Structure formats: structure tokens, C-alpha cells
Amino acid sequence: MPAAAPDTAIAAFLRQVAAAPNPMKLGNVGRLIFAIDATASRQETWDGACRIQAEMFSETVSLGGLAIQMCYFRGIGEFRAMPWLTDSQALVGRMAEVTCASGNTQIIRVLRHTIAEAGKGRVSALVYIGDAMEESANVLADLSGKLGVLGVPMFVFQEGDEPNARCSFRQMAQLTHGAYIHFDAGSAKTLRDLLKAVAVYAAGGRKALTEYAERLGADVLRLLQQLK
């Protein structure tokens, strides 16, 4: 299947974000799980995510704030979940200590962890960034369906366009009432804007996302306006 034109893909992703159920909060604070594939090829993307974190926090201050829990997997069976943090510097500091290592994907553990966290307190959304899928598509679909029942939309960012991953990632997003998009090395600015948009959604819902659109650059604003 040929890849969609960038503008069309971004517009479709943002439409799905806007159509997701209004996020559930714990108190006045939205809670966002941010999970990244940290296997060997992912260091550049990990470093980019470190830079984006502070901007995601800053965009949500006026909405009551956002708590982010960073999760990652790497190496042989290593999966880590950092504490819930509301301070960007604390999170970036912890992320800066992590280096990527060769290994297989562990997306199943990401989903099971998110389900467990949602059982402890409301989770507004799950963001996942990765490029491959080496697990059971059926198990991923089953767990995604459980996240959907719990009201936790999954926003999936695929680096590249590997077919097996694309198929599973799209399905996971659909089953959780979330959204999927793929990006490449030349999409760093757009990735940053879209991640900030998801953070705003997690903290303030669809209304906040619409208001946020008014402050974006012309290119992304033009796409967000299609949601109205």
C-alpha cells in the first residue's frame, strides 16, 4: 500500500485525535504514558524525544498541568517505567541517562503496564513511538481492546513504514479509539508539533486542542482547521 501524502496523513491523524473521547483525569492533572522503543536503532529518536518533553509540559501548564510517565524497552527483556513526573527537567534528566541497546520489541509489556496503571488511577492517553513489531499481532489486538474499554486512547507514531508494524500499529490505534501516523527523519518539526498536540489533548481535551491550534504555525494550523 503506498504511503499517504504527508499533509493528508497528518490531517487524518489530527482528525482522529479530535474524535477521541475526552480524556479522563486524576484530579485536575492529565496523565500521559509516553513509551518508546529503545532498541539499537532508536538512539536518535530517543534524543529527539528528550528535547520535546519540556515543550510538551510547557504547553499544558495553563490547562492544569500534565503528569508524564516515560516507559521504554531495550536489550534482552529489559522494560523500565519511570515514576510519574510533572517536572520537565526531572524527566529529561532521567531520560538522558538511557542509551539504546539491541533487542526485540516488547510492545506487549507496554500495553500490559498501561492496563495496570489505568487500574491504579485514570490514564488520559498512551503515546507509543517505534519502528518495528516482532510480537503476536493477536495478543497486541486483545490488549489494545482492553485499553479501549478502559478509555485509554493510544497514539502511535511509527518511524518509517515497515508493513507488519504499520498493520498492527493501525489496529492498536483503532481498537483504543486513538490515532496512528508514520514519520521519517525529515519530520522532526511535525513530530514535535503533533506530540505537543497530543499532550494538550491529554491535559485539556478536544476543546483545548482546538484552542491550541490557533497558536500553531501556518502549515499545521491549516491542517488542524480541517478538524472543525
Domain boundaries, the chain: 6-227
The cell for 192 is 514535535
Provide the 10 A C-beta neighbour count for residue 207: 11
pTM given for the model: 0.86
Per-residue pLDDT tens for 30-84? Answer: 899 999 999 877 788 888 887 787 778 777 877 778 899 999 999 999 999 999 9
Buried b (16+ CB within 10 A) or exposed e, 110-133: bbbbbbebbeeebbbbbbbbbbbb
Which residue in this structure is represented by grid cell 539504546? 100
Edge to edge, what strands does the sheet with 78-81 contain?
78-81, 66-74, 30-37, 125-130, 154-159, 179-183
pLDDT of residue 124: 92
Which residue in this structure is represented by grid cell 509516553? 34
Provide the 10 A C-beta neighbour count for residue 183: 22
CATH code given to domain 6-227: 3.40.50.410
The cell for 207 is 476543546
pLDDT of residue 194: 83
pLDDT of residue 223: 43
pLDDT of residue 55: 79
CB 168 within 8 A of CB 176: no
**Could you tell me how many residues make up the chain?**
228
Question: Between the CA of residue 87 and those of 58, 69, 143, what are the distances in Å?
Answer: 10, 11, 30
Q: Which residues of the chain have pLDDT under 50?
A: 1, 219-220, 223-228
